[in-house]
Structure 1
Amino acid sequence: MSVRVRTAIGAVFGATLLAALPGCGGGTSTGGGGDGHPKTLTYWASNQGASLEDDKAKLTPELQAFEKQTGIKVKLEVVPWTDLLNRILGAASSGQGPDVLNIGNTWSASLQTTGALLPFDDKNFAKVGGRDRFQDSALASTGAPGKAPTAVPLYSLAYGLYYNKKLFADAGITKPPATWDELVQDGKRLTGGGHYGLAVEGGNVSENIHHAFVFAKQHGADFFDAAGKPTFTSQGAVDGVKQYVDFIARDKIAAPGNAEYAQNESVADFANGKAAMLLWQAAGANLQKHGMKPDQYGVAPVPVQSGTPGPGNNIDTMVAGINIAVFKNSGNLDGALKFVQFMTGDAEQKKLNGEYGSIPPVKTASQDPAFNTPELTVLRNAIATSAAPLPQVPKESQFEELVGGAVKDLLADAAAGRPVTTQSVQARLAKAQQQMQ
């Protein structure tokens, strides 16, 4: 999901899902029709840049180029991540939505169940250039296995460990940590003198679920079984969540105030030297906007329990990114598919992913030398060798909210000095699992 994915998933999801009426109403295309004149498309873009205005500045010239090529005008609305999912669910319920929209890739299976999004079967994939153009890892987060995807990949992201070179040198640390034990040891050496070893975004539900997922995978656990039933209280899931919360609770290498961070504050802390390390998705462009130069930080793979990242228990990132979808009730499906083809074409993939600091999920575009920077090389290798998609189950969105919220509460306990134990972690996850059922 995003250069930052920000979910605000309300309890309305279940009711909205049940109320979804994909056969009613129509999209928001206007003008044109049977007289042959193209219709205007409405596009809901996610907030990828430093601000909504930043996104508008980046996207408007590209939409104008599309209009020049096709004669189809695109009406742009950049939707904050805090609003996007509920806006989409409302559109699914009413049958009145945009023609084209961005979605966090982890939502794909959940939104698939609404029936509101156009399936990308072989016929529709052919209209946007074909399935084979996209990286397999990115396609893994486009919907439930065995079903036609409800979206196609637009921007790919992965987590990396960002570290402040000067603070590391000042502490006599010569290389970034490869394991969590090493990270905690380094973090303690780096804590003090006005800065902490690590910055976390504890008030952000999405960040919490991403890290909970990776830590659980590294402990040999999944949050759902093969039948799609939640297994939130498995030993591996409990151990993984506790290990993450302990950065504040036990290890004290992250500031207690980080438990409230929800709007990129941890990125700002890292850029301003208040934290020596940061776990983030493609942070480079964001760091540079905060005044940090590329030669001031390094990027390494996210640590693992032992050894080095790789398949199996050494997964070190979720498959992050943004997908682009078409609202099935669009009054101009042909135009909408042309727009998806344009946005996933090599030229736009290189330009927009370059602007946002992400990686093209389109194979040929990702081979451009512009994406061979030290940062993106680490992230691209992670996507190719040590990434796993979040569970592609119908209730994935609720999973994000409930388990991510449980981690948020646990981090708040840690920040307040309340004990965080294996039992308290298990109890929070048990409550989340009960709410899922």
Structure 2
Amino acid sequence: MRSIRAAATGAVVLSLALTASACGGGTSTGGGTNDSPKKLTYWASNQGAGIEIDKKVLRPELDKFEQQTGIEVELEVVPWSDLLNRILTATTSGQGPDVLNIGNTWSASLQATGALLPWDTAQFDRIGGKDRFVDSALGSTGADGQDPAAVPLYSMAYALYYNKQMFADAGIQKPPATWDDLVAAGKRLTGDGTWGIGVEGSNPAENIHHAFVFAQQHGADFFTADGTADFANAAAVAAVKQYVDLMAKDRIIAPGNAEYAQNQSVSDFAKGKTGMLLWQSASANLKSQGMGEDDYGIAPVPVQSGTPGPGRQVNSMVAGINLAVFKNSDNLDGATRFVKFMTSDAEQKILNTAYSSIPPVKAAQDDPAFNTPANAVLKDTLAQSAAALPQVPDESQFETAVGTAIKNLFADAAAGRAVTTASVKAALTKAQQQMPNQ
């Protein structure tokens, strides 16, 4: 195994080379970690329809924390297009925040850098104990056999959102349960300026989430049992081709979606430009864009055949956001108190309600707000038919390399260039060659 420093550096170089929106230096506004016991810096991920919406959600809660503890929290909301690069750069420079949100799929990769504070039993006890959190959320906090690198903050699952009126107008009686049904419904919804479904074709993270789910349904994994990259196996190629073919072959996705990178597909759905949307816990996002809850339905993401369930009937990755602490913070006590605050029962109810996500804290899940019909779909998915992305040290590089390969395949489809089994295999082979030690 390569050294921790080499892992971090390789991740930074690869990510900067492949991601369009590169980091501007990796420090938070006002510097990185600070030496004041009365101040913390916090990088939050963009969870709402825009950064300003996130600030409106978070600022009152951070002010509440300051009132309770006397510790001021300096907030920066970082777009997803920049977040991984910012974090990776911070792990090598040492100039990062005290506390930060990370995509839960990155946990093992960032853990391998050695930059994040491990959450052993004693550290978990300081925030109320590890057993407060649901198992599915804890399963995406780091590599097996190691102390977690982060603490679950928001849990999410993908679902199929569909426009009820557009379905009725097209004579579609029920939401699609299989991918053949999805394509058939998409074709009936496409025409006269509307499209069947929207995607974020230029967003590597969204691409990899869907490709992973498709691959699971095809019986494929992108890594072998020993953690070796295996991107171009036949089942993975078939899965990626099926996804891109929604635009290239089935023509139920607008070609312009190949350039979508952040929330544009949600906006199109809210405006009635598309009849379906595959998204993580989208209700709050849709509400902020003026779409009422009665205007759309929520169903499980389709599977190849049958219904979602255990085994290869996976229909979502275990989505979510974890809260991590940089080990070199000069205010580890304050950072731990902040994590305790953000994962308290009361704050979990407030924050997860605001973002239409599911609390990873057991006690908060029992609140009636998280037992609506819409949330039932998400909770059932997380409990029964979601799978965690590989918790391997090279996971973040995998997301960037394969997600960018799919971005390029969508660009081919939008430009009218053929997307074939051979071209998909070539793209995935190239992505694998960009991985460390290949």
TM-score, normalised via structure 2 length: 0.92
Cα distance per residue 1:170-198 (max 9 Å; x no partner):
11111001000111111111111221111
Cα distance per residue 1:324-355 (max 9 Å; x no partner):
01111111211111110110000000001111
Q: Which residue of 2 aligns with 1:226?
A: 225
Q: Which residue of 2 aligns with 1:249?
A: 248
Q: Which residue of 1 aligns with 2:422?
A: 423
Query: Closer, same or farther in 2 for the Cα pair 1:290/1:14, shift >3 Å?
Result: closer
Secondary structure at 2:211 match in 1: helix
Cα distance per residue 1:390-424 (max 9 Å; x no partner):
11111111101110111111111111111111111
Whether the 8 Å CA contact 2:41–2:99 is kept in 1: the answer is: yes
Whether the 8 Å CA contact 1:96–1:329 is kept in 2: the answer is: no
**Structure 1 residue 71 displacement after superposition:** 2.0
**Structure 1 residue 301 displacement after superposition:** 0.1
Aligned amino acid, residue 382 of structure 1: T
List aligned pairs for 1:78-89, cutoff 5 A: 78-89=77-88
Secondary structure at 1:313 match in 2: coil
Q: Matched residues in 1 for 2:16 and 2:75: separation?
A: 29
Q: Matched residues in 1 for 2:418 and 2:34: separation?
A: 54
Secondary structure at 2:159 match in 1: strand
Whether the 8 Å CA contact 1:318–1:387 is kept in 2: the answer is: yes
Cα distance per residue 1:90-116 (max 9 Å; x no partner):
221122321111111111111001111
Query: Which segment is superposed worse, 86-95 or 248-257?
Result: 86-95
Query: Closer, same or farther in 2 for the Cα pair 1:324/1:40, shift >3 Å?
Result: same
Point out where structure 1 has 5 or more consecutive residues left out of the alignment.
1-8, 16-25, 32-37
Q: Which residue of 1 aligns with 2:395?
A: 396
Aligned amino acid, residue 252 of structure 1: R
Secondary structure at 2:118 match in 1: coil
Whether the 8 Å CA contact 2:104–2:320 is kept in 1: the answer is: yes
**Structure 1 residue 12 displacement after superposition:** 4.8
List aligned pairs for 1:299-378, cutoff 5 A: 299-378=298-377
Point out where structure 2 has 5 or more consecutive residues left out of the alignment.
1-10, 18-30
Whether the 8 Å CA contact 2:49–2:263 is kept in 1: the answer is: no
Q: Matched residues in 1 for 2:82 and 2:100: separation?
A: 13
Cα distance per residue 1:261-309 (max 9 Å; x no partner):
1121111111111111110011111111221111010000000001100
Q: Which residue of 2 aligns with 1:190?
A: 189
**Structure 1 residue 234 displacement after superposition:** 1.1
Whether the 8 Å CA contact 1:27–1:97 is kept in 2: the answer is: yes
Secondary structure at 1:156 match in 2: strand
| CA root-mean-square deviation | 1.6
Secondary structure at 1:323 match in 2: strand
Aligned amino acid, residue 240 of structure 1: A
Q: Matched residues in 2 for 1:89 and 1:11: separation?
A: 9
- 1:125 aligned onto 2:124: yes
Q: Matched residues in 1 for 2:176 and 2:111: separation?
A: 39
Q: Which residue of 2 aligns with 1:139?
A: 138
Q: Matched residues in 2 for 1:288 and 1:75: separation?
A: 28
Identity of aligned residues (%): 69
Cα distance per residue 1:349-380 (max 9 Å; x no partner):
00011111111011110111011222211111
**Structure 1 residue 13 displacement after superposition:** 5.1
Aligned amino acid, residue 119 of structure 2: F
Q: Matched residues in 2 for 1:351 and 1:366: separation?
A: 12
- 1:29 aligned onto 2:28: no
